Structure 1
Amino acid sequence: MKKSKTYFICQNCGYKTPKWIGRCSECGSWNSFLEETDVKKNNNKLVEKIELKKLVEVKGVEVERYSSGIKEFDQVLGGGVVKGGVVLIGGEPGIGKSTIMLQISYYIGSNGKKVFYFSGEESLPQLRMRGERLNLTEGDVYFSATNSFEAIYEILRREQPDVAIIDSIQTIYSDELNSAAGTVSQVKFVTHKLVEVAKKNGTSIFIIGQVTKDGAIAGPKVLEHLVDTVLYFEGDYDRGLRILRAVKNRFGSTNEIGIFEMSEYGLREYTNRTLVNDNLKASGRAITVVMEGSRAFLVEIQALVSHTYFNYPRRNVTGFDMNRLNMLLAILEKKCGFNLSSCDVYLNVVGGLRITEPSVDLAVCAAVISSFKDIPFEQDIIFLGEVGLTGEIRTPFSMNLRLKEAERYGFKKIVTKMNDISEFSVEVISINNINELINYI
């Protein structure tokens, strides 16, 4: 009798090696290899017959959607829950993944859908306690506390529910594999089977995934490739805000975000679309408008510039790209004559939002200059524009949506490169380069 073949596999990238090594040669992670046993495949399995069609011959391609009960969640999904879609939700511990899934399950269950909730992390009494805290004990939702994938698969195949929730994928294991729950082989096998049953029966499956210390979903990258939608929870724990962002969506845009507020009754939609403290008047702060998908948000940029007593000044950034900040500081030194090389610079995007678009360059420069000169701005002014390496200012896209959002919250002035805004009541202070911003300040 032949012995089973064993190998070592990296739990971060899935790299295989016949011997244990301390550092992965593919991703560079240390002590990430675990021993796993190879599974023999059945060579006598019947080959499934497939059918080939042209796209014009395919019928019934309309995507069936229904509401999850939370408008912000539907917005991120692209318009609602897709029948037969598989959604992977990741985020830090305690950020609200299980909470929002419990809320969504009860809303969908109360609208005539059959909902199954499989928990591998909590027992049924613990789920009861969570439901009582959220005032969600009455409803047609069925729960099971199990870690066995075979049991879950049999229920999904036999009952064919409308929605199934797996909490979490790293706690579910299959008896067909000898490795422990959460390993690369288990996660790949279980997710592949869940996607298979979702497409076959039309069950919408939500999978909760644990994350590593770097913030990425634990397990191989192929996990994100198997599912239809990948959502990440980000949070500002000080204000109780949660930001849900789509990084992959086969049925909608990946530019949409949802903003929630954590309350004693779970996550609620954050209806105030501004992350600005209106009552604060101090130097080192500037207001801008960012676009997330089709929606505009008012965001406050804070900067602190102070003299350093060390040889190398510090650059500390939260919610903004460090390399872009260094570029903007170099522009201010070269074009405007500010001696920022002898100062520590701290930059923060209020509200826990992460900004990647370049339209906030002008607001970042304004906040840095305001802190450096200790000159506060007026509370009704907005800075909008991209700053080039030569110091020129460029007009950002979707200016009409940004101006409407600024006008709705009572802002009177906007510093940008734009002239024709006759349809708005906002006063435009048009500038062409960064030196004109200095003159205005």
Structure 2
Amino acid sequence: MAKLETIFECQECGSSHPRWQGQCTQCQAWNSLVEMTQEKLKKSSTFNPTKKSKATPLAQVEISEHHSIKTDISELDHVLGNGFVKGSVTLIGGEPGIGKSTLSLQLAIQLAKTGQKVLYITAEESETQILLRSKRLGTVPPSLLVLADTNMLNCLEQCNSLNADVVILDSIQTVSHPDLSATSGSVSQVKYCAAQLIAWTKSSNAISILIGHITKDGMIAGPKILEHMVDVILYVEGERNQRYRLLRSYKNRYFHTDEIGIFQMEECGLVPVDQASELFIEASSLKNPGTAVSAIIEGSRAFLVEVQALVVETGYGMAKRNFLGVNANRANLVIAGIEKILGKKLFSKDMFLNIIGGLKVDEPACDLAILMAIISSNEDLRFKRRVAFIGEIGLSGEIRSVPLIAKRLNECEKMGFEACFIPKTNAKNCPELKQLSVIPVSDLRDLMASVVKEFQSEHLVQT
């Protein structure tokens, strides 16, 4: 009979302690130890598919022609680089209801259509529920198999017996292994189940995709080591009341990180969006005061974002500052520059900033757009033509250079903008543009003088 022992496991890092204590000695987290009963088994039932390996000279390692598999989902292939690499493990995280299961089922259908044997393991839904959702996404190919089970050992045996090419597990927090007495979702179960599936994936040269829940802090639930064990980490982001979704790469051992893919939620699933700038700017709103446009870089692509500001007289003793999608520290820096250098008194005015579409932008190149949106709202300024603003603002009012200026300007021209203000130090790197007029500026005073000259807004400058 198996012996039982009581341990205290940290829910932050997964370390075990013989007795309870207030602080974990490994990760220094407070009140994170939970009492658990662990069985000491004489003979483990662990499924171990690993084979003995031998050292090989690196130069003699053979690479298969088909070492990666494309998904035929353009935005996903863009994020991954060249599809899924064989022998890789990918972790997809996101908030509940954001579209993780829809994307994974859509991915399973697409891979099965290419001739891959795909095993979709669901620990949260039944086979009937998966079938109903898959019919909404398209025709179900015969090579797509589904398994509804929460026992990780049974899942591994099915993966091995079916010799699956692709395994999708939804989700890693809801399965448990019989070797551990801990409940599913605990740190030890998540780490152990993931380690077993990763071992099978590497030995079988298959592709595994894990769906993960996230905590209230936006991190993958479970031990931090889980993020180090996998090869690729993708996050599905977006607002529930918005139709678009961002697929962001936070880790990729086979391609550069910080790539994003943009999808639009439709009845038939997540549809890739080719022209991202069209989602985040409205032609009609550009004619209103308090609106400015900037070009940001996400991964290897540039797209335009619309910054809106509303400046009103405060009705309270202290002015309010509400920022949505904008870094609060950078916004306060810009406001301080407007007051100190340009002489605009904003301390007695409520100020609201928003990035249209629910985006979260933390790039310094958006500083100029934030500044012009605030001034436009405060002075009731309407731009006479489509103009964009790109540049970082320093503490002394200088406008500093930004990287990849050519990509940003090309995107502005593609979207039909007529003028763009950029840092003077970036002017030498500008590409040849046919329709876009580039206006280099060196500091905030130079910017305001150019705005007056271009848009006939003399009331902005007080000399």
Q: What's the TM-score, normalizing by structure 1?
A: 0.92
Q: Are 1:200 and 2:203 an aligned pair?
A: yes
Percentage of pairs with the same residue: 40
Range 41-50 or range 398-407, more displaced: 41-50
C-alpha separation between the residues in 2 aligned to 1:233 and 1:292?
15
The answer on 1:382 being equivalent to 2:388 is yes
Contact kept, 8 Å, 1:89 with 1:232, in 2: the verdict is yes
Segment drifting more, 411-420 vs 240-249: 411-420
Q: Which runs of 5+ in 2 are unaligned?
A: 453-463
Whether the aligned pair in 2 keeps the contact of 1:184 and 1:220 (CA below 8 Å) is yes
Where do residues 264-279 of structure 1 align in structure 2 (5 Å cutoff)? 264-274=267-277, 275-279=280-284
Alpha-carbon distance, 1:422 to partner? 6.7
Of 394, 412, 432, which aligns to 1:423?
Answer: 432
SS of the equivalent of 1:5 reads strand
CA distance in 2, matches of 1:61, 1:134: 32
Q: Is the 8 A contact 1:120 1:146 kept in 2?
A: yes
Is contact 1:83-1:202 (8 Å) kept? yes
Query: Out of 278, 283, 294, which is 1:288 matched to?
Result: 294
Does 1:87 pair with 2:97?
no
Distance 1:106 1:61, change over 3 A: closer
Matching of residues 18-37 of structure 1 within 5 Å? 18-20=18-20, 26=27, 32-37=32-37
Specify the alignment match of 2:120 in structure 1: 117
| C-alpha RMSD of the superposition | 2.7
Contact map agreement 2:113 2:141 (CA 8 A) in 1: no
User: Is the contact between residue 304 and residue 368 of structure 1 (CA under 8 Å) also seen in structure 2?
Assistant: yes
Q: Any idea what the Cα deviations from partners look like across 1:18-46, whole Å, max 9, x if unmatched? A: 4456787856566x543223454879999
Q: What is the CA-CA distance between 1:62 and the residue it aligns to?
A: 7.4
Give 1:172 deviation, angstroms.
0.5
Bigger Cα displacement from structure 2, 48-57 vs 185-194: 48-57
- Between the aligned partners of 1:90 and 1:134, the Cα distance in structure 2 is 21
Which of 175, 179, 185 pairs up with 1:172? 175
For 1:121-160, list aligned pairs within 5 A. 121-160=124-163
Tell me the residue number matched to 2:223: 220
Deviates more, 1:307-316 or 1:138-147: 307-316
- The 2-side partners of 1:49 and 1:143 are apart by 31
Post-superposition Cα deviations, 1:341-366, rounded to whole Å, max 9, x if no partner, equal 33333222222332232111111111
Equivalences for residues 10-89 of structure 1 within 5 A: 10-14=10-14, 16-20=16-20, 26=27, 32-38=32-38, 40=40, 51-60=54-63, 64-89=67-92
Counterpart Cα distance in 1 of 2:309 and 2:23: 39
| Cα separation, partners in 2 of 1:350 and 1:10, compared to 1, 3 Å | farther
* Distance (whole Å) between structure 1 residues aligned to residue 118 and residue 344 of structure 2: 61
Instruction: Describe the shift of the 1:94–1:48 C-alpha distance in structure 2 as closer, same or farther (beyond 3 A).
Output: closer
Distance 1:61 1:142, change over 3 A: closer
50 and 116 in structure 1: CA distance in 2 versus 1, 3 angstrom threshold:
closer
Q: 2:334 is paired with a residue of what secondary structure?
A: helix
- Whether 2:348 is the aligned partner of 1:339: answer no
User: Is 1:99 aligned to 2:99, yes or no?
Assistant: no
Match of 1:438 among 448, 451, 460: 448
By how many angstroms is 1:138 displaced? 4.3
Tell me the CA shift for residue 227 of structure 1. Answer: 0.4
Q: Deviations over 1:184-224 (max 9, x none)?
A: 00000011111111111011011000111222111111111
- The one-letter amino acid paired with 2:404 is S
Give the one of 170, 187, 191 matched to 1:188.
Answer: 191
For residue 321 of structure 2, the aligned residue among 315, 321, 326 is: 315
Report if the CA contact (8 A) 1:278-1:379 is conserved.
no
Give 3-state SS (helix, strand or coil) of 1:216's partner. coil
Change over 3 Å in CA distance of 1:63–1:316 after alignment to 2: farther
- Alignment deviations for residues 48-96 of structure 1 (CA, whole Å, 9 cap, x no partner): 8664455334443878112112010011112211111100000111111
- The reply on whether 1:257 has 2:260 as its aligned counterpart is yes
Q: Per-residue deviation at 1:326?
A: 1.8
What is the CA deviation profile of residues 78-123 of structure 1, one whole-angstrom value per residue up to 9, with x for unaligned ones? 2211111100000111111111111111111111110000000001
Distance 1:363 1:69, change over 3 A: same
Contact 1:288 1:360 in 2 (8 A): yes
Pick closer, same or farther for the CA change 1:103–1:312 going to 2, 3 Å. same
Amino acid at match of 1:438: M
Shift of 1:374: 2.2
What runs of 5+ residues in structure 1 fail to find an aligned partner? Answer: none
Structure 2 CA distance, aligned partners of 1:299 and 1:186? 42
* Code of the aligned partner of 2:324: T
Structure 2 residue matching 1:206: 3-state secondary structure: strand
Pair 401,42 (structure 1): closer, same or farther in 2 beyond 3 Å: farther
**1:390 CA displacement:** 1.1
State the distance in 1 between where 2:100 and 2:28 align: 28
Alpha-carbon distance, 1:10 to partner: 3.2
Q: How far apart are residue 229 of structure 1 and its match?
A: 0.4
- How many residue pairs were aligned? 440
1:4 matched residue in structure 2: 4
